[in-house]
Amino acid sequence: MTDTAQRLAEIRGGVPPRRHNARTIAALTGNPGCTRRAVLDSAGVDKPKLAERIGFPARFGQSRFAITRGNAFEAQVKADGGVELLRLVAERLGVPVPAGASWTDLGGDEDRPERSRAALTAPGQGAALFDHPLLGLDVAGRRVHLEPDLVAARLGGRFHVVEIKSFPVIDGQADPAKVSAAAIQSAVYVLALRELLSTAGGDPELVSPEVVLVCPRDFTNQPVASLLDVRRQLLVLRRQLDRMARIDDLLAAVPAGFTADPAADPAALREALSTVAARYAPDCLAACELAYFCRHEARGQTAALGRPVREALGGVDGVDEVLALAAGERAPEPEQGEAAALLRAAARLRADALAGNPS
Amino acid sequence: MSTLRALAKAQAVAAGVAQPVATVRHLHLSDRPLVLVPLAMAGEANAPLAALVGAAPDEARLLVVPQPRNREQRLAFAAELAEAVLPHLESFRGVSEAVPVDRGRDVRYRYVDAPQLIVPNPAGITFLRLLGRSTRFRRPDGEYPVHPSVPLLGRWLTFFAERAEHPGSAALVALTEALTLHWATGQSAVEDLHLPALLGWLDPPPGTTGAEAAARAEDPQTCPPAGPATDPDFDNHRLAPAMAAYAEAEDDPVARAEAYAELERLLRGQLEPTWELMWRGLGLLRALPPGARVAGRWAGDRDAFTGYAEHVDAGGGPQPRRDGAVAAAVRLHRLERALASYAVQRAYDDPLVMAEHRLTGEAFVGDVTLADPKRVDDSGKRPVLRPRIQVVTTEPVLVPVGATLYSPARPAQKAKVVFVTPAADGKTEVVLELSGGMGRGLTAPPGSVPEVGERLCLTTLSDAYLPAGNFPAPEETPWTHGGPPAEAV
């Protein structure tokens, strides 16, 4: 075990690292500047448990109705050996619909990584659909296995990632937040699939950056396919994974003896966490299990009010500092001169208008 | 986010309670708003689960869908909602007023009042829009006939959802947006979308701070979400078993009635706290005096309501799935004009909003120190009345010489900047030449020219009428925009 691995194991406590999936890897791209998150995720800390232990449980429940619906739609689309799926994908890609395609379910076996590699890199040009391929990705120096709920379609010699999602596309439009979440998840798969091909000596560019998204159309159960270009997401992902690969740099800033072992004393954990810098933003609430703790910690900071607010306040960090500058009770730092003048003017105008002076 | 609003948020954090960012109410409030709190089934495409609807706090009507995946039950919900909504809309179609058009050469009519729908949050508006989309193309005949009220409801919901995109309209209002337009909380915009937390900041219970009240409101156990999305824990542990019990009791009328009653009880429990918050929020808004230009914008809503009611009466079709090129351009133009005018009107109505423009140099306030109300410019063909005034201000003046300024106190009058001169103590003297708003003669009526000593706000923002752009007829759509649409088949 390397020093780094040893250090990460200490941080994690006496438990195996939490497994990543495409969703957690995709979430890593959410707030790339946050050291606390990068360290905890690299160590594979059980963040939901940790958050609960320190008294700030995450609220990421999923309704069983949504899960049932998602599974039913997926089963429906994949039915009959993927005939319907093949037609949808081929038509969307603008290639002639092949007379037939092989359907390989790579799920459910013990030797899946091997089988997946063999199946996906086997020579062959014919149309083929691979369900549940097991893919791997290096995250923070550790091999992570992804069990994507996806189909890799080989059509015209190229691979396309096919994602089946149960949110509707109504009159050609879907919920933008759900589409962008699907895009970044798909990008994880594209990346892993490319890696698999290139390690086997193949051409990674055979995996198209255009992902096929299959969703129900309008208010029906009929599937409709759309194309998503995930090139931008691939760049973001690549950068964050590279950053996590340089975990040693990050660990250098972490005090020795830091632990996030959920078995430790809650007060000690809170104390320890506060020694690793976080960069809280309101968006974290939707993406990170630790967000409620970080929000509590960031109370009184302008960043907790959102980036636009912080920027409008001239980038000044603390709420107290803002109010003191606005009231002219505090001498601005050299670089705060402009912000302080703006805040003073704002405070004067606000007081003026609230006092009912005519304007 | 303007610096002034951001500062109000910082003050809210320090004070522990929301701070005002408006001194008047910028939207019309109906005496009988139709409050609608919808819930949707997780995972489905806008499948209604339940709703509370009513025009007064004690008139809540509960609608429940025992199995939202069942299409017939969803359509039954739509029919039931139509029973609650359509008579409400109809009740505003009694009295009309005449409005002169074409410079008084003609007259048209509009209803003296119009319906107003209030939902908890923007997601509630999306829910109504999609419910409208899923029902307006239904037919009372053919293969899957529905009650005739269902497509009619769909068209009206679509009308309201489209109206909600129109800046300054109060026909369909998301309460969270209406509240944050008037108060700044000490939390972020994302957190403000949660109505219970927002009201926690606005009106914290005695002895608690806004932050504490908001934190308490975030726990779905004590404070159910304001919809349309439900709490997943509620779905998994309470709703799912109740739905299963209802489904199992299919053949047993007694058990079925019991299961239905249990579903009603559960869903009412999720909806009622939000119902209370809706009326509390409306009460807070009602306490503010309306801005001077609110009635004018509401007249626009009444016009739109009248127009759509006439369209329906005349047998007009439902709104298309997507606008054609010309219709889309016209709509965008209309929305842009409305947005610009709404921003100006709010500033004219409210010194606290005008302060945001003063901070960015689009407006300044000063004292009139000199006035020459009798000045006549006779350099042209005809002598014209062009009074001049001098205003002294302590604020920075960023407008160039030659610019035209306006004053909310005399919106019909233009003030051209003639000289800008720095004076002692960092003050600035601005000499302005006035035109308009003073009658036709060569003597200004009293009060039409600012007098010495008057405090005046001058701004580049103009509330003057903007003429609409010209757009081609749909059959003359240029080839750059896809050419004329194909004939409908």
pLDDT tens per residue, range B368-420: 999 999 999 888 888 899 999 999 999 889 999 999 999 998 988 999 999 99
Which region among B175-179, B240-244, B385-389, B438-442 has the lowest average model confidence (pLDDT)? Answer: B438-442
Residue A290 lies in a domain: no
Residue B430 banded pLDDT, cuts 50, 70, 90 = very high
Q: Does B346 touch chain A (CB under 8 A)?
A: no
Q: Based on the fold, state whether residues A190 and A79 are members of the same structural domain.
A: yes
For residue B320, cis peptide bond before it (omega within 30 degrees of 0): no
Q: Based on the fold, state whether residues A212 and A328 are members of the same structural domain.
A: no
* Cα angle value B57/B62/B63 (rounded, 5°): 145
pLDDT value of residue B96 = 92
**Distance from C-alpha of A56 to C-alpha of A54, rounded to nearest angstrom:** 6
B3 min Cα distance to partner chain A (Å): 5
Q: Residues 258..317 of B with a Cβ closer than 8 Å to A: which?
A: none
Q: Based on the fold, state whether residues A138 and A174 are members of the same structural domain.
A: yes
Q: Does B344 touch chain A (CB under 8 A)?
A: no
Q: Based on the fold, state whether residues A86 and A196 are members of the same structural domain.
A: yes
Q: What is the pLDDT of residues B108-128, one digit of tens each?
A: 899 999 999 999 999 999 999
Q: What is the pLDDT of residues B275-324, one digit of tens each?
A: 999 999 999 999 999 999 999 999 999 999 999 999 999 988 899 988 88
Asked if the Cβ–Cβ distance from A69 to B44 is below 8 Å, we say yes
Q: When comparing pLDDT for A226 and A147, which is higher?
A: A226
A91 min Cα distance to partner chain B (Å): 23
Q: Based on the fold, state whether residues A85 and A222 are members of the same structural domain.
A: yes
Residue A357 banded pLDDT, cuts 50, 70, 90 = low
Q: How far is CA A28 from CA A24, B385, B432, in A?
A: 7, 68, 58
Instruction: For domain B362-459, give the fold.
Output: Elongation Factor Tu (Ef-tu); domain 3 (2.40.30)
Residue A108 banded pLDDT, cuts 50, 70, 90 = low
Q: Which residues of B touch A68 (CB under 8 A)?
A: 43
Residue A294 lies in a domain: no
A168 min Cα distance to partner chain B (Å): 6
Q: Based on the fold, state whether residues A183 and A230 are members of the same structural domain.
A: yes
Q: Which residues of A touch B188 (CB under 8 A)?
A: 282, 304-306, 309
pLDDT value of residue B489 = 41
Q: Residues 25..64 of B with a Cβ closer than 8 Å to A: which?
A: 41-46
Asked if the Cβ–Cβ distance from B187 to A65 is below 8 Å, we say no
pLDDT value of residue A1 = 53
Mean pLDDT of B139-156: 91
Asked if the Cβ–Cβ distance from A352 to B322 is below 8 Å, we say no
Q: Does A303 touch chain B (CB under 8 A)?
A: no
Query: Is residue B213 pLDDT above 90, yes or no?
Result: yes
CATH code of the domain covering residue A230:
3.90.320
Query: Is residue A126 pLDDT above 80, yes or no?
Result: no
Residue A159 lies in a domain: yes
What is the residue range of A261's domain? 3-56+244-280
Q: Which residue among A216, A302, A353 sits closest to B352, beta carbon to beta carbon?
A: A353
Alpha helices per DSSP H over B165-293: 175-180, 189-192, 195-202, 210-217, 232-234, 240-248, 253-286
Number of domains in chain A: 3
Burial class (CB in 10 A: 0-12, 13-18, 19+), A280: buried
SS3 content of chain B, % helix, strand, coil (to 5): 40, 20, 40
Q: Residue A136: in which H helix or E strand, if any? A: strand A135-139
Mean pLDDT of B466-471: 82
Residue A222 lies in a domain: yes
Q: When comparing pLDDT for B443 and B346, which is higher?
A: B346
Sign of CA dihedral B123, B126, B130, B132: positive
Residue A263 lies in a domain: yes
Bridge partners, B414 (sequence order): B435
Instruction: Say if residues A290 and A51 touch (Cβ distance below 8 Å).
Output: yes
A221 min Cα distance to partner chain B (Å): 10
Q: Based on the fold, state whether residues A236 and A248 are members of the same structural domain.
A: no
Asked if the Cβ–Cβ distance from A64 to B188 is below 8 Å, we say no
Q: What is the pLDDT of residues B327-357, one digit of tens each?
A: 899 999 999 999 999 999 999 999 999 999 9
Instruction: Say if residues B160 and B117 touch (Cβ distance below 8 Å).
Output: yes
Q: Would you give the DSSP letter of residue B186?
A: S
Compute chain B's Rg from CA coordinates.
27
**Range from A333-337, B340-344, B424-428 that averages highest in pLDDT:** B340-344
**Distance from C-alpha of A204 to C-alpha of B246, rounded to nearest angstrom:** 53
Q: When comparing pLDDT for B78 and B143, which is higher?
A: B78
ipTM for this model = 0.89
pLDDT value of residue B468 = 80
pLDDT value of residue A116 = 75
Q: Based on the fold, state whether residues A113 and A195 are members of the same structural domain.
A: yes
Phi-psi region of B88 (alpha: psi -120 to 50; beta: other; left: phi over 0): alpha
Q: Does A176 touch chain B (CB under 8 A)?
A: no
Average pLDDT, rounded, for chain B: 92
A126 min Cα distance to partner chain B (Å): 36
Asked if the Cβ–Cβ distance from A353 to B231 is below 8 Å, we say no
Query: Of B5, B13, B138, which to mutate for an interface test with A (greatest number of A Cβ within 10 Å)?
Result: B13
Asked if the Cβ–Cβ distance from B355 to A353 is below 8 Å, we say yes
CA A247 to chain centre: 18
Mean pLDDT of A52-81: 87
Q: Based on the fold, state whether residues A98 and A218 are members of the same structural domain.
A: yes
pLDDT value of residue A109 = 60
* Domain limit, last residue, from A213, A240, A267: A240
Q: What is the pLDDT of residues B290-304, one digit of tens each?
A: 999 999 999 999 999
* Domain limit, last residue, from A240, A268, A292: A240
Sign of CA dihedral A46, A51, A53, A54: positive
Nearest to A352 by CA among B428, B458, B365: B365
SS3 of residue A105 by DSSP: strand
Query: Is residue A151 pLDDT above 80, yes or no?
Result: no
- Which amino acid, A243? R
Contacts of B56 (CB under 8 A, 6+ apart): B32
The ranges assigned to domains in chain B are 3-347, 362-459
Q: When comparing pLDDT for B340 and A258, which is higher?
A: B340
Q: What tokens appear for B271 in the block? A: 């909806």
Q: Based on the fold, state whether residues A47 and A171 are members of the same structural domain.
A: no
* Cα angle value B387/B392/B396 (rounded, 5°): 120
Q: Which residue among A63, A312, A352 sits closest to B2, beta carbon to beta carbon?
A: A312
Asked if the Cβ–Cβ distance from B1 to A61 is below 8 Å, we say no
**Distance from C-alpha of B51 to C-alpha of B227, rounded to nearest angstrom:** 10
Q: Based on the fold, state whether residues A327 and A274 are members of the same structural domain.
A: no
Q: Based on the fold, state whether residues A108 and A184 are members of the same structural domain.
A: yes
Instruction: Say if residues B431 and B337 touch (Cβ distance below 8 Å).
Output: no
